[in-house]
Each structure stands twice: as structure tokens, then as C-alpha cells.
Amino acid sequence: MTVPSIGDILMLSQKAWKIGSAFAACQKQALSDLSCIEVEIGGLAKALTLLAETLYAECESDLLQSADQQTRAGFAAIIGSCKRVVDDLDSLIDEYQVIKKHRTVGGFAIERAWSDLVLAEYKTIPWTTEGGDLDNLRDLLQVHKNSITVLVQALQRLSSTRLERVVKPMAERIDSMYTSNSSLDQQLDEVHRVVQDLNIMSRDSAAPPVPPKHPARTPSTGDGSYQSPMLDHSDLSRSPPRNHNLKISLPSIPYNPRLSQYSTGSLTNGPPTPLPIRESVSEASLMDSSLRHSSSSYASSEAGQSSTGWQSPQPAAKQLRLSRQQSISTRNGPASPEIRDQTQRPNNRYSTLHSSPILGPESPHERGRTLSQAEIEKLHRSATTASQRNAFEKEAFRNSAILCDVRGKVVEYSHRINRDDPRDVEMIPVCTDCRIAVVRKRITDPETRTVRVVTSIWVFSDDTQVRMELRMQDEHMYIPYASYFSPAKVSITVPCELRFYDVAHAAGPARVAQTSWVNYVFDSPQSSALFQNELMGRTLLAIFRTEKTLRTHSGLSKSFAYAEQMCGLETLRIWQDNDTGAVIALLHFSADFRTGYLAFYLNSARDPLSVKDDGMRQVKIRGLKVPVDGGPQVGHGSGSNVKGKDKVGSVNGAKKKKRQDKDDGVISGAKIEFASEVEKREFLDLCRVMQGNLIELPELQGVN
């Protein structure tokens, strides 16, 4: 049996999301038993998404591909059984649901609804291919959700032995459900017991003891957030799949938080999406003559804003949005923050699904990876004292302003293993519990005596062994990349230089590392938002998770045009520029489409947008004018040698071709599919508020 690929698992997750949306579309009929199925299929979709993420994160180790034939066949059997259940349920949805048309004031409204048979006999009609009822279907979905979760735990352990011990018995028991003569209830109970036993075994089996090392040479690796994800046996599936910790509201009316309830400690061994190494492009269209870039020049870029300095704008309504001023600790000098207690992990079902795959050194592969960090350990042979730490910060932060001072959980950067292959990289951890500060400093050149302002991101580990600086260069632009799976994770995706300092700042950096990807994982989504505010020089109003974004066309040919996918599994961030009042939507392009970001105004009076609900979780946007590269050029003098009627027809054809070429070079519309119905409604509410107060804004210069 062929082992399913990451794409196959993501497609299965998408189908599960579609089924959950079909159940959600019929909520008006208020069948509580059916709403439980919606929650269970949503949990299965999230578990499948996490499995795909884990397989991508561990692709370098080839753990699954290097396993024996029986283990790979068992893995394929588990996924195949899950696919069979999802496909059967998808067929039942098509059979049990109908499309109803209602007359409204403006015409007709079409919506999904359960058929009269389902409404009358939903407790007795079969919901599984074996003739089971709703309870059997719910138990069956829970079995597959829990089995996928246990499978993720085994993969994150990076141990082929553990993977074999988990996969084989679970695959045999799941396969026996379709061959045994026992009743469906008995089979489900037996599978539940096997999955729970495997999970308990995963809990009880701790990593082998590691001899204690000298604290001066060993970086701190103990982090409560880096435990193996444990399966929750209690029925917590009714918990809302949203993160209620981040409260970012509209500038004029408050509304609900909108971030995913994934664990903030989720890390992978590479970038969050399979993107190539990004080249830094200093866009002239995004630059301004002032020290700070105005939003009129902000369109779309691969990297982000220039480090020549950002003004910290004063919010107009401090009570209605997350103010950037909350992150400013002092303008006169640095102050050493107190070591705060670690934030407790949220007690919810999905927090167990998104734990870090970086675990203790259990296998030889992990032990070798830990020893490979000796290069960093040698830089700091002893921890600094309090006086040394204060002296270092006093020297480093002289003539400085601390724009943002927050807590971090993990910092890591990418290291290219093979110079010929830009995707062959590994993530090297810098530290775990730490302090992360964005500092703007005035520097005087010793030779020319010219004064310039530089901005740096400093990292100070709690064990006082790591002092790292990322100094932003004037020729680069920095846009923080927000993770789809973890709202507390932010990445810097431009080539940069990391400076590791010894005890004394005046001695200069003891080591310099070149990288093109740095991950910062904060202790909360609020800290992540404050960090992004300072890097962007704007206020983050909202974050929405999007499943995919398609490019749509206008005109008579729109029905026959191919809807090309521009974005997939990305976060749609809404920024407000306090200087101009511009509200900008920002969405990262997929690597297959192009590099950079899709950016457009939400409140421009010059180019107003048409935002419409397109059903399910989709929103259609028209009126975009985002130029893209690669559009065909129109030649001059076409049809100049033709006379009479032929000339008229040729000229008309040339005009049509010119108009079509212009459309090909500009993104005029998009269809965005959100991760949930709630996020779609919140985005529509935000657009409605913003478009109620349109202002004159300069034209965005496009995606270059």
C-alpha cells in the first residue's frame, strides 16, 4: 500500500473542513446531535492538518520513509481508514442535504438545509456504511481523531522503534473493525482502548537519562512548552477553536478575537510553509524620502520595512485596539525586566495537538543534534553576574530607546547545510526562555562623525548565556512573517547577520552567523502583536486565518478564466497607518504563484472595493488594482499594413488584446476562503466599518 503524501493528507483535511462547513450551514435548524458531529469532524480536520505539518517538519529525518515495510503499510492503513470514513460522510451529506431558495427583497437567497427525512428521522436513519446511528458516527470520528493524534506523537519522538510500536497494533485494530463479526459498538470500544493504551504508553515512557553537564557549557533546554502532546481523553471537543487570549478590536467598534487556538510553542524544523529561500528586494515603490515609510508606498514586498527608523504613532482610540505605546518601556534608558513566571499553557483540546516537535535527546539523531550546538556553547563559558549584565545593557543601550520589551519562549535560525540547495537547511536553536527587545539606537561613525539611527532586535536568555543582536540594514526591508499555525510565532525572512556577544559589549561580537530565516516564539499572542507593530511602524488591527486565496478575473471572460491559487494556509493581517489613516490588508503569496505580499487598501476613496459574502467560508473581493510581474507587453504598430474592413477588425482585435494584456498584468479580484465562518463574518464586519469612512489615499505602487 502506498504511503499517503503530505498533499494527500492536506486534501483529506480540506474535505473534512468542507463537511464541517456543511453541518455549520444548517445550524438554523437547531439539531444538537448534528452539531456534535460538526465539532468532531472539525477536530479530525485539525488533527490531519497537524499531521501534515509534522511530516513536513520531519522531512529531513525521513523517519517514515526509512521505516520498515510493515510500519509504512500500517501508516497507510490508518490514513486510508480515515479517508474512507470522510468520503462516506461526504456522500451522506450530498444525500441528506438539499438546496433551498427563498425569496428576499432583492431577489432570491440560496442556502443549504437538511432534508425533511433527516429532520424527522435523523435519530434512526443510518449515518455510517455499517448502518450505525449518530452516536456510532461520533465515536468513529473520535477514534480516527485520537489515532491521528497518537500518530503525531510518535512522529515527533523521532524514534523509529516508537513509531513501529505505535503504528502496527493500531493499524491491526482499526483494520479489524471492517473484518470482525462483532458489533460496531464493541469494535469501537476495543479501538478506543487500544488507542488509549498506546497514548498512556507514550506518556509513561520517558526519555533515557542524560548525564548532567557543566551548567557553564550547556544551554538551557528545559521548557515546559516542549513536551510531547498528550491525548485528552475527556470530551473537550466542544471547546471553541479560537484563541481568546488575543483581544484586538476594530478602531471604532469592538469585536471578538480572531486568532487560532493553536499552541504558541509550535515549532518546525524549517519555515512554516514550504517556501524557497527568499531574496531581499529593496523596493523603490515601497520607499519614501522620509525616515519612515508611509503607507502610500507600502504595497507588497518580500521582506519588510526599512530599518532607517519607525515612528511610534499615537493611537487615536487606545481603548479599542492594541496600542503600540504599550510596548514602550522607556525613552530615556534601558531597564532590566523582572523575570516573570511562565504563562500556563491553555487547557484546551487543540493545545495538545500543536506542541513542539523538538523534544529531548531520545534518539541518536537528537543526541547528535544537541552536541552540534557546541559552537554556541563555547561562546559563553560562564553565566554573567548581575553587575556584568547591567554593565552590558548599559553599554549596548546607550543613546537608545527601547520600543518593545517582551518575553520569548524560543528563538532559532536557519543554517544552510548544502550550499547548492537553498532548501536544504536545518534550524539551530539559540535559546529558550528569554527577553526580546526592539531597540532604536543613535550611532556616530568614528571616521566621518555622521550620526545615523539603527534598529536592532536583541535577545537575552534567562540563563544569561546568550546575548544576540539582529541589526537591521538600511538597504533591506523587513515585514514580519506571521505563522498560520501559531499566533505567537513571528519570523524574519530576509538575509541578515546575527551577532553573538561575550560578557563585555565593548569587545565586539564573539561570533557572527549568516542566515535568511529567524523564528521568534513569544509567550503570548499579545507580545507577538506588539513585536510586529514596532517592526512595521503601524498598528495591527486584526488577524484572520485563510485556507486559500484564488485570483479572479473581470469582464466577459471571467466565467472561462482559470482561478489561479495565489495563497494557501496564510494569515490575513489588517494594519492601520496612524499618519495617513490608511487601513491595509496584507496576505503572503504562495511560492508557486510569486514572491512577496498581496496588499490593498480597505478604506480608499479613489479605489473602493466591493466585498461580498460568497457563501460557506468564502468572500469575494472586486476592484483590486495590484500589478504583478510577467504581464505580456503590447507591441506597437500592430495592424498598420491592413486596409479597409480588415483594418477595422484588426484594430478592434488589438484593443481587446491590449485590454486583456492589461488585465493579465493586474490582480483585479480575489476569492478568499477563511478557516472558519466566524472569521469570515468578522472580516465582513471590519470591511463594512472601514468602507463607511473612505478617505483619499495615494495609490499603492504594486507588488514588485
98 C-beta neighbours (distance < 10 Å), count: 14
Consecutive sets of 10 residues in the chain, 704 residues long: mean pLDDT of each?
84 89 66 78 91 81 79 89 90 82 67 79 82 86 89 83 84 75 60 60 45 40 40 40 42 39 40 40 35 35 39 38 42 40 39 36 40 42 74 90 93 88 85 94 86 93 93 86 92 93 90 94 94 91 92 66 80 90 89 82 90 90 79 36 43 48 71 93 93 86 42
Q: Secondary structure of the chain: what % helix, strand, coil (to 5)?
A: 30, 25, 45
pTM beyond 0.75: no
Question: Helix, strand, or coil here: 17?
Answer: helix
Q: How far apart are CA 29 and CA 112, in angstroms?
A: 11
**What integer pLDDT is reported at residue 169 of this predicted model?**
85
* One-letter amino acid for residue 167 of the chain: V
**What integer pLDDT is reported at residue 44 of this predicted model?**
92
**What integer pLDDT is reported at residue 434 of this predicted model?**
95
Question: What contacts 318, CB < 8 A, 6 or more positions away?
Answer: 325
Q: How far apart are CA 393 and CA 274, in angstroms?
A: 38
What are residue 210's phi and psi, to 5 degrees? -110, 130
Q: Which of 577, 529, 574 is nearest to 247 (CA)?
A: 529
With both helix axes pointing from N to C terminus, report the angle between 160-176 and 69-96 in degrees, rounded to the nearest 10.
40
Q: How far apart are CA 90 and CA 12, in angstroms?
A: 11
Q: Which three three-digit cell numbers place residue 125?
A: 436513519
Strand partners, 521: 410, 489
Q: How far apart are CA 568 and CA 441, in angstroms?
A: 38
Q: How far apart are CA 508 and CA 512, in angstroms?
A: 10
Task: Answer whether 99's CB lies under 8 Å from 134's CB.
Answer: no
DSSP 529: H
Largest CA distance in the chain: 92
Cα 332 from chain centroid (whole Å): 36
Domains (ranges, CATH) in the chain? 6-204 (no CATH), 284-335+362-536 (no CATH), 539-630+665-690 (2.30.29.30)
What beta strand segments (E) does 81-128 contain? 97-104, 107-114
- b/e map 100-131, b = 16+ CB within 10 Å: eeeeeeeeeeeebbbeeebeeebeeeebbeee
H-assigned helices in 209-351: none
- In terms of Cβ atoms closer than 10 Å to its own Cβ (0-12, 13-18, 19+), residue 619 is buried
